[in-house]
């Protein structure tokens, strides 16, 4: 027998439906609602959304999440994101029935909340995740992704690329607390311990391997690729450059 809905539940339901319709992102990891760190009085804060979800009996968590800067802002935009795990969405659908259709239409391989990358260590290569990006990170423009460090620091390749053109993202350890992602491959050449040029360890070896495979792409990314794209031999651009050199 269904229990009657109380007035506090109905009020919380109205606020949650409004948040889901206007500011939610559905991913392979679940549903997220982002709020500015200093939300104004006309916007419900992450803490307020959390209280409403508690009233409705929907398990969730609040995490610190960052969005790209706007305009000339020098820093990432800090906010709080209320996340409902995918396995708990059925509890939310009870109060927001219109959410069922986009859940059914979500691709099976849709990215989740976190961005995965690899980091070479003395014991091997560790797979890590960065969970502080706002859940909308797969939909950011290339310029926004560059501002958030999601383009290869060497060639400008978009590290969010999925499918056949995907390249694994690596963080080459440098200064403590810094993160500089580059694209690469898991292939690694090994040498005997007594041969000339033997590698000092996994970290040094991976650095060399990445330099071999991370080359400028045949395209440019805004704010991402500092190396100009190569022009094919015999192209009009190369012929013009050769003519200028001859005149000089």
Q: Are residues 92 and 162 in the same domain?
A: no
Residue 64 shares a structural domain with residue 39: yes
Model pLDDT, residue 44: 79
Single out the residue in 38, 71, 105 at which a domain terminates. 105
- pTM here is 0.70
Q: What are the angstrom distances between the C-alpha of 13 and each of 36, 38, 41, 100, 164?
A: 21, 24, 20, 16, 42
Contact indicator for 93, 53 with CB cutoff of 8 Å = no
The answer, yes or no, to whether residue 12 has pLDDT greater than 50, is yes
Residue 174 pLDDT: 65
Residue 190: both structure tokens together: 């090994």
Shared-domain flag, residues 54 and 132? no
Domain co-membership, 99 together with 127: no
Residue 20, domain CATH: 3.10.28.10
% of the chain with per-residue pLDDT over 90: 44
Question: Who contacts 87 (Cβ-Cβ below 8 Å, separation ≥6)?
Answer: 30
Distance CA 134, CA 230 (A): 35
Look at residue 33 in the predicted model and tell me its pLDDT: 94
Confidence at residue 99, expressed as pLDDT on a 0 to 100 scale: 94
The domain total for the chain is: 2
- Which residues span the domain enclosing 87? 7-105
Statement to judge: residues 24 and 60 lie in one domain: yes
Are 83 and 134 contacting, i.e. CB atoms less than 8 angstroms apart? no
Give the pLDDT band (50/70/90) at residue 208.
low
19-56 confidence digits (pLDDT tens): 999 889 999 999 999 988 776 555 778 999 999 999 99
């Amino acid at each position: 027998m269904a229990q009657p809905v109380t007035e506090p539940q109905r009020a919380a339901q109205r606020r949650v439906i409004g948040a889901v319709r206007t500011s939610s992102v559905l991913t392979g990891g679940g549903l997220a609602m982002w709020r500015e760190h200093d939300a104004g009085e006309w916007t419900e804060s992450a803490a307020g959304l959390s209280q409403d979800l508690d009233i409705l009996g929907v398990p969730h968590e609040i995490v610190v999440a960052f969005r790209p800067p706007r305009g000339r802002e020098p820093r990432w935009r800090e906010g709080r994101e209320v996340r409902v795990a995918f396995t708990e969405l059925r509890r939310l659908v009870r109060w927001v029935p219109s959410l069922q259709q986009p859940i059914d239409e979500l691709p099976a391989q849709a990215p989740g909340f976190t961005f995965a990358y690899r980091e070479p260590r003395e014991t091997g290569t560790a797979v890590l995740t960065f969970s502080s990006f706002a859940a909308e990170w797969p939909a950011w423009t290339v310029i926004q992704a560059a501002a958030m460090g999601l383009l290869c620091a060497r060639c400008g390749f978009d590290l969010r690329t999925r499918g056949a053109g995907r390249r694994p993202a690596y963080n080459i350890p440098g200064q403590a607390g810094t993160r500089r992602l580059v694209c690469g491959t898991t292939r690694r050449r090994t040498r005997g311990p007594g041969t000339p040029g033997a590698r000092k360890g996994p970290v040094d070896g991976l650095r060399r391997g990445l330099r071999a495979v991370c080359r400028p792409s045949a395209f440019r990314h805004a704010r991402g690729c500092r190396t100009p794209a190569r022009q094919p031999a015999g192209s009009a651009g190369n012929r013009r450059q050769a003519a200028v050199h001859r005149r000089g």
